[in-house]
Structure 1
Amino acid sequence: MQMKNKLLTLFVIFVGLISINWHSPSVQAATTIQNPSKVLVVYDSLNERNHRQEDVQTLSRMLMSMGQQVTMMAMSDYHAGMISKGHYQAVITMINWPGMKFDNPAFDRDRHQFNGKKLHIGPLMTADEKQNFPGNWQEINQQSFILKGQNNRYEQQVDFQRQIQLLDKVTGNEQALSQLVAANGTNQTYPFGIINGQDAYLPFFSSKGATLLSSIQLIAQWLGVHGNYVPYVDVRDFTPLSSFTATKEFIKNLDSLERNLIITTTSTTQNTDTKTFKNYLKFLRTMTRDNRAVVYLNVPALNGVDSSNDDTLMNMLTQEISTLIENKIFPLGISAPTYWNFDKYYQLNALNFGDATLLYNQINNQDYHTQTSTAKAYQTMFFAIPHSALKNIKWNINGRYTDFTFPMPVTVDYHFPNSKAKAEKINREIKALPFAPENQYLYQFNTGISTQTQNLRGKDGVISLNGTPVSEIDFHQIKQQTAGIRKNQDQTGHLTTRRIVDKINNVLIVIIVVTLIVLFGMLAIGRKLYLRMFKNRNLKRTKGAKKK
């Protein structure tokens, strides 16, 4: 037995050695928020049948952009004690498919005993939840409403409500930031969203329109998140294959927009000597001239990533960043689908390159590598609102722009145009936005991207590389140095030193595996010899007893 325990101890040590040698440091750690508030979101269903999964994803993005460490969990996956074990500061119940009436008694009990912040979104409030809000609850069916924002800054007729629970009025210390006005001619008003101490309630949620704006305000107020951010405009998915004509038209109108843009670009590590790629680089330099736009690097399409090699994604992004830098293009953040922040592999090998991220919804084609329920809280995270989500909102404006601001960094999201006509349309839509132009990105934010050898930083109006302003750097020399390094790369893009480390790792693993096989073989042989000796001894005793 002692021999077996020793072998098991050796096995644990060997496994530890494997893990140490097998994984080498990859990306410099991004600046994440120290000790962020931990929020648990328990939703009843993604409700894919009614296409409501985007609402769940939007809520998670919203919370992340407010600096929260978010854990998302389906109600069916919740087990007793998870709230207390998770040490959460806030718990959100989201009813996304009320018709199914999903329930989890263990969650209901734990939520009732939880002493932190609690928010209920949607119908089907329990009796103990309603008790946290003084007043008379009303069950209203088959009704249309107009939602009016705080101080009547905006309004919109919202989706028809089949069933909704509302308080008739706000009393005592409760807060209501927006109002619902019945559209049946009675003009009856109800509070949309209520905060009473640590408890809050939203009667419904949406990823678009006035409902989204009012939800953002209430959730931020409930969490104690305060800020005054005017939205930037991001134009997403500029690639080397983007339309030449559309790009020229888009660039021609940049100056007339009078605002900083965030251009998210998907680069490549292949065919970088072609005229198409050189035009792509030229266009990016033109767009970022005089800080008219800042660049965020979008993560690559997964069909171009070898998921069997843990370093492929990291190496690909490292090479893309180096190529952009040597061509005087300076990405200051990472752009990715929301679900990438719910994957440990993507967090480590992609999102960690930047301390600023811009996340957007991607409902289909979600290809996880190592899925996790908890997202990281990065220092700066932009909440991208599709421009279509702001349509049909009536803004009450005195002058050219609204004074409405957001409590966290926000962008109005457009796709890069693929035709001259669409470029002209985007130009008109951006000019018509109700938000004042923002032109101070490099002064307002301190963001950047880091690899093992390059540290880009945009701060106080200056972009610097490894601490030196880029205006003082000889990029021709950097290009020559990078070209020399790439000569030592193999077909997979790994550096020669990395190949040597990999070979050493492989040799060590073979030695360790062979050693373990020999040790366990000896254990098996020793066990057989011991059993045989034990049987022979018992047999002799039995024969001796018979003779007596």
Structure 2
Amino acid sequence: MRRKKVCSLLLLLLACMLLFPPDSGAAEPAAAQTERVLLLYDSLGIGTRAEGNVAVMERLLAAYRAQVTSLSLEQYKRGMMGTYGKLIVVVNAPDLAVSNEAFLADFRAFKGGYLHIGENEPFRQADVHVPVFEKGIVNEARMAEVLGTWLDVKLPGRTFALVKDIYPFSDLQLLQNMADRLYDAGIPFIASVQPVFSNTDFPAMKRYLSALQYVQSRNGSIIVNAPVVQATPGLNGQTLQARMESFIAVLAENRIAPLGIGAELYWTYDTVFANNGMRFFDSAVLYPDVSPLHIERTNMSRTFVSSLYSVRLDDLAKMGKLGGQSQTFRTDTAVTFDFTDDKELLAKNLKALVGTRIAFDDYKEYRHEVRSGSHTIVSLHAAVSIDGKMVHEQEGSDPVKDDYKYQEEVQKSFTTLFSVQNRIFIVIIAATLVIFGCFLLIGRRLYLRKFKIRG
């Protein structure tokens, strides 16, 4: 009888599991389909209002986790189109006719999705035709809506708060105060921290790590910012890979969990940066290019399981409300501002962030994974682990003190020894000066006696 009851309960439980599967979608990245998109443009519109629109398209597509190949129409070669399910053509110079016969021939046979951007007529009936597209937060938000619909993205975008430009020489006390302010306001945030590749055992570095531990304990998620390329002469793939791996190790060994990388867009279109600098991360935040400096440029982007489109906090107010929607994007988006030692400016930015009234998401809630040769960092459902050991919220919760000594004092015996030696040297030098003075005085008297003119 008891066996029958147990079997009945098991069958009932199995039926419930089949009818109501566990809801994991809330914590997993939006549909991780990797759509292959061919992005072709007639020109980059340099010096015109269209300048920068191709780069915006590349970042928006990256936020939708699309595998993008970006080429000028002149670079297109016969047969390229056949491996892509989606095609975007950007025409920034409508007065110039397309003369690439290879493109025209392949396009006539293309059966995939087609989005056309430009004032001229599409080459054939397009799925979507956007006559004008210029960069700017309002236009970018609208294009994000268009792309989301065209790519058939079902889930809504999520919005994260991100603080950039955190360096070892930043005002770490002010950094902690900022973390406290955001924590008290109930805003989870991402801190993009600058990597350090040398002198990691110095006291200043230990203070930096202690501050990052505190930030992490105040509901902050850590990502590693891409190193400044101009400040790293002679950089190559092996050097970059070794340095990034060493910094990940320093963080992990100090119980700090990096969950992704922040970089300018061009890093994803460079073989060295993408394959050596970004290889450890499955999550990224991509910023607009400021000073691109390629090592080995490629036309095909690196994709990530999670990729955030970045929007400046001071641009957010320009959005207002689009179609009744709040100040959010269709894509997963990071609202960013730079950390600064200017207390008034930082307070202004924090006030503006709180004033957006956006329900910011917690980066740790979603799955991120970082794998190096020696460490594995994983987050999911706000649980973060380093090499399988959970990172607890209270770790590193003690504020960093400016007068804290991060280096052991030299033993007192050595201090005493050096003090005695110094006194001996002072006595010897003083005695030598006295003796030398006596010799000068005696010599002077002998000289006067010998050469004095007698009267």
Give the deviation of 1:458 after TM superposition.
0.7
Preserved contact between residue 42 and residue 72 of structure 1 (Cα < 8 Å): yes
Which of 76, 84, 87 is matched with 1:88 structurally?
Answer: 84
- Between the aligned partners of 1:214 and 1:93, the Cα distance in structure 2 is 18
Partner in structure 2 of residue 461 of structure 1: 382
Partner in structure 2 of residue 337 of structure 1: 264
Give the deviation of 1:377 after TM superposition.
1.9
- Between the aligned partners of 1:88 and 1:409, the Cα distance in structure 2 is 24
Give the deviation of 1:389 after TM superposition.
3.5
Q: Closer, same or farther in 2 for the Cα pair 1:260/1:248, shift >3 Å?
A: closer
Which of 268, 283, 286 is matched with 2:196 structurally?
Answer: 268
- Between the aligned partners of 2:370 and 2:391, the Cα distance in structure 1 is 14
- Between the aligned partners of 1:453 and 1:104, the Cα distance in structure 2 is 50
Partner in structure 2 of residue 39 of structure 1: 37
Deviations 1:327-386 (A, max 9, x none): 22110111111111111221211111111111111143x221221100122111111122
Pair 1:295 & 2:215 matched: no
Partner in structure 1 of residue 277 of structure 2: 350
SS of the counterpart of 2:162?
Answer: strand
Preserved contact between residue 141 and residue 330 of structure 2 (Cα < 8 Å): no
Deviations 1:373-416 (A, max 9, x none): 00122111111122243332222799xxx557544321112122
- Between the aligned partners of 1:100 and 1:245, the Cα distance in structure 2 is 57
- Between the aligned partners of 1:389 and 1:99, the Cα distance in structure 2 is 33
Partner in structure 2 of residue 375 of structure 1: 301
Partner in structure 2 of residue 487 of structure 1: none
Give the deviation of 1:245 after TM superposition.
6.1
Pair 1:212 & 2:212 matched: no
Q: Closer, same or farther in 2 for the Cα pair 1:316/1:41, shift >3 Å?
A: same
Preserved contact between residue 189 and residue 363 of structure 2 (Cα < 8 Å): no
Q: Closer, same or farther in 2 for the Cα pair 1:404/1:51, shift >3 Å?
A: closer
Preserved contact between residue 226 and residue 407 of structure 1 (Cα < 8 Å): no
Pair 1:422 & 2:345 matched: yes
Partner in structure 2 of residue 19 of structure 1: none
SS of the counterpart of 2:244?
Answer: helix
Alignment of 1:14-25 (within 5 A): none
The one-letter code matched in structure 2 to 1:91 is L
Q: Closer, same or farther in 2 for the Cα pair 1:237/1:80, shift >3 Å?
A: same
SS of the counterpart of 2:337?
Answer: strand
Partner in structure 1 of residue 359 of structure 2: 436
Q: Closer, same or farther in 2 for the Cα pair 1:347/1:274, shift >3 Å?
A: same
Q: Closer, same or farther in 2 for the Cα pair 1:209/1:103, shift >3 Å?
A: farther
Give the deviation of 1:421 after TM superposition.
1.4
- Between the aligned partners of 1:454 and 1:239, the Cα distance in structure 2 is 23
Pair 1:324 & 2:251 matched: yes
Preserved contact between residue 255 and residue 386 of structure 2 (Cα < 8 Å): no
Q: Closer, same or farther in 2 for the Cα pair 1:316/1:396, shift >3 Å?
A: closer
Partner in structure 2 of residue 169 of structure 1: none
Give the deviation of 1:42 after TM superposition.
0.4
Pair 1:120 & 2:116 matched: yes
The one-letter code matched in structure 1 to 2:154 is H
Q: Closer, same or farther in 2 for the Cα pair 1:442/1:392, shift >3 Å?
A: closer
Partner in structure 2 of residue 143 of structure 1: none
Give the deviation of 1:316 after TM superposition.
0.5
Preserved contact between residue 249 and residue 420 of structure 1 (Cα < 8 Å): no
- Between the aligned partners of 1:98 and 1:278, the Cα distance in structure 2 is 57
Preserved contact between residue 40 and residue 91 of structure 1 (Cα < 8 Å): yes
Runs of 5+ consecutive residues of structure 2 not aligned to the other structure:
1-28, 397-455
- Between the aligned partners of 1:232 and 1:203, the Cα distance in structure 2 is 31
Preserved contact between residue 338 and residue 361 of structure 1 (Cα < 8 Å): yes
Q: Closer, same or farther in 2 for the Cα pair 1:421/1:350, shift >3 Å?
A: same
Which of 262, 267, 288 is matched with 1:361 structurally?
Answer: 288
Partner in structure 1 of residue 170 of structure 2: 242
Number of aligned pairs?
367
Alignment of 1:83-162 (within 5 A): 83-84=81-82, 87-98=83-94, 104-126=100-122, 128-129=123-124, 132=125
Which of 150, 174, 197 is matched with 1:222 structurally?
Answer: 150
Preserved contact between residue 195 and residue 247 of structure 2 (Cα < 8 Å): yes
- Between the aligned partners of 1:104 and 1:355, the Cα distance in structure 2 is 37
Q: Closer, same or farther in 2 for the Cα pair 1:265/1:457, shift >3 Å?
A: same
Preserved contact between residue 321 and residue 327 of structure 2 (Cα < 8 Å): no
Tell me the TM-score normalised to structure 2 length: 0.74
- Between the aligned partners of 1:306 and 1:331, the Cα distance in structure 2 is 25
Partner in structure 2 of residue 484 of structure 1: none
SS of the counterpart of 1:340?
Answer: helix
- Between the aligned partners of 1:391 and 1:68, the Cα distance in structure 2 is 28
Partner in structure 2 of residue 483 of structure 1: none
- Between the aligned partners of 1:457 and 1:233, the Cα distance in structure 2 is 20
- Between the aligned partners of 1:464 and 1:391, the Cα distance in structure 2 is 37
Preserved contact between residue 191 and residue 222 of structure 2 (Cα < 8 Å): yes
Partner in structure 1 of residue 335 of structure 2: 412
Preserved contact between residue 78 and residue 103 of structure 2 (Cα < 8 Å): yes
SS of the counterpart of 1:253?
Answer: helix
Identity of aligned residues (%): 23
Which of 392, 400, 404 is matched with 2:318 structurally?
Answer: 392
Pair 1:232 & 2:160 matched: yes
- Between the aligned partners of 1:461 and 1:249, the Cα distance in structure 2 is 23
Q: Closer, same or farther in 2 for the Cα pair 1:454/1:51, shift >3 Å?
A: farther
Partner in structure 2 of residue 66 of structure 1: 64
SS of the counterpart of 2:345?
Answer: helix
Calculate the aligned-residue CA RMSD, in Å: 2.9
Preserved contact between residue 283 and residue 369 of structure 2 (Cα < 8 Å): yes
SS of the counterpart of 1:303?
Answer: helix
Give the deviation of 1:300 after TM superposition.
1.1
- Between the aligned partners of 1:214 and 1:376, the Cα distance in structure 2 is 25
Deviations 1:299-320 (A, max 9, x none): 2112344546531101101111
Preserved contact between residue 36 and residue 67 of structure 2 (Cα < 8 Å): yes
Q: Closer, same or farther in 2 for the Cα pair 1:453/1:42, shift >3 Å?
A: same
Deviations 1:281-324 (A, max 9, x none): 2221222114x210110121123445465311011011111111
Preserved contact between residue 225 and residue 407 of structure 1 (Cα < 8 Å): no
Preserved contact between residue 241 and residue 277 of structure 2 (Cα < 8 Å): yes
Runs of 5+ consecutive residues of structure 1 not aligned to the other structure:
1-30, 134-198, 476-548
Preserved contact between residue 161 and residue 189 of structure 2 (Cα < 8 Å): yes
Which of 371, 383, 388 is matched with 1:450 structurally?
Answer: 371
Q: Which has the larger radius of gyration?
A: 2
Q: Closer, same or farther in 2 for the Cα pair 1:52/1:248, shift >3 Å?
A: farther
Tell me the TM-score normalised to structure 1 length: 0.62
Deviations 1:471-496 (A, max 9, x none): 49x99xxxxxxxxxxxxxxxxxxxxx
- Between the aligned partners of 1:460 and 1:297, the Cα distance in structure 2 is 21
SS of the counterpart of 1:263?
Answer: strand
- Between the aligned partners of 2:62 and 2:322, the Cα distance in structure 1 is 29
